[in-house]
């Protein structure tokens, strides 16, 4: 039993050293988010919930929203920042369907997932297109929503279907 524990401790030390080496050029906040995302994916870390309390991510039983986010983002690796922004929009689409989303919502999703997003997320959506067609259209006050072509592309590219969860209203009603 002692050798098994020593083996696990050695593995943890090797992983920790690899993380230190991998994040050598990153600022502390980015390194912490990336480490947290990796630990959440493995089920080793706590997952934050909207009210600020933290709960341990369940490994069995009914999946909750946090677990679905972990499963969703763990399917994709090594994307460029504009693709990460579209991935965040695809996650929003998988939760709420084609409801408009703000840039703050996309940044929040990206931050929670530990993704690197472009500096001007709004310009990424404004310029996004495939086969000569726009993927997003403006929805007023800096918000965007998918065009019909964008919905079809998102379903094919990211493998999502429109969600049906209602969006929480910001005015508390």
Q: Which residues, at least 6 apart from 19, have a Cβ–Cβ distance to it below 8 Å?
A: 35, 38
Tell me what pLDDT residue 141 has.
84
Tell me what pLDDT residue 21 has.
81
Mean pLDDT (whole number) for 68-73: 74
* Cα dist from 63 to 3, 68, 167, whole Å: 35, 7, 19
CATH fit for domain 76-158, picks 1.20.1300, 3.40.50, 1.10.1760, 1.10.10: 1.10.10
The length of the chain in residues reads 173
Tell me what pLDDT residue 111 has.
85
What is the pLDDT confidence band of residue 164, given thresholds at 50, 70 and 90?
A: confident
Q: Is the model more confident about 161 or about 58?
A: 161
**How much of the chain exceeds pLDDT 70, in percent?**
77
Q: Where are the domains of the chain?
A: 2-60, 76-158
* Cα dist from 69 to 26, 40, 47, 60, 81, whole Å: 24, 10, 10, 15, 18
What is the pLDDT confidence band of residue 61, given thresholds at 50, 70 and 90?
A: very low
Mean pLDDT (whole number) for 37-65: 47
pLDDT(43) > 70: no
Bridge partners (DSSP) listed for residue 55: 47
Tell me what pLDDT residue 65 has.
41
Report d(CA 82, CA 161) in Å as an integer.
21
Instruction: Tell me the per-residue pLDDT of 96-146, one tens digit each, with 9 for 90 and over.
Output: 888 888 889 888 888 888 888 888 888 889 888 888 888 898 888 888 888
Q: Is the model more confident about 150 or about 53?
A: 150
């Amino acid at each position: 039993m002692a050798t098994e524990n020593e083996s696990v401790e050695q593995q943890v030390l090797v992983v920790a050293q690899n993380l230190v080496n991998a994040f050598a050029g990153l600022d502390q906040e980015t390194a912490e988010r990336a480490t947290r995302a990796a630990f959440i994916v493995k089920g080793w870390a706590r997952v934050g919930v909207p009210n600020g309390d933290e709960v341990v991510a369940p490994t069995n039983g009914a999946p909750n929203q946090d677990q679905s986010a972990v499963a969703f983002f763990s399917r994709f690796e090594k994307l460029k920042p504009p693709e990460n922004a579209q991935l965040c929009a695809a996650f929003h689409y998988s939760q709420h369907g084609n409801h408009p989303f703000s840039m703050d919502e996309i940044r929040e999703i990206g931050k929670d997932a530990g993704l690197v997003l472009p500096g001007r997320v709004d310009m990424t959506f404004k310029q996004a297109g495939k086969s000569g067609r726009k993927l997003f259209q403006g929805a007023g006050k800096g918000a965007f929503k998918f065009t019909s072509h964008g919905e079809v592309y998102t379903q094919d590219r990211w493998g999502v279907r429109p969600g049906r969860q209602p969006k929480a209203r910001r005015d508390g009603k």
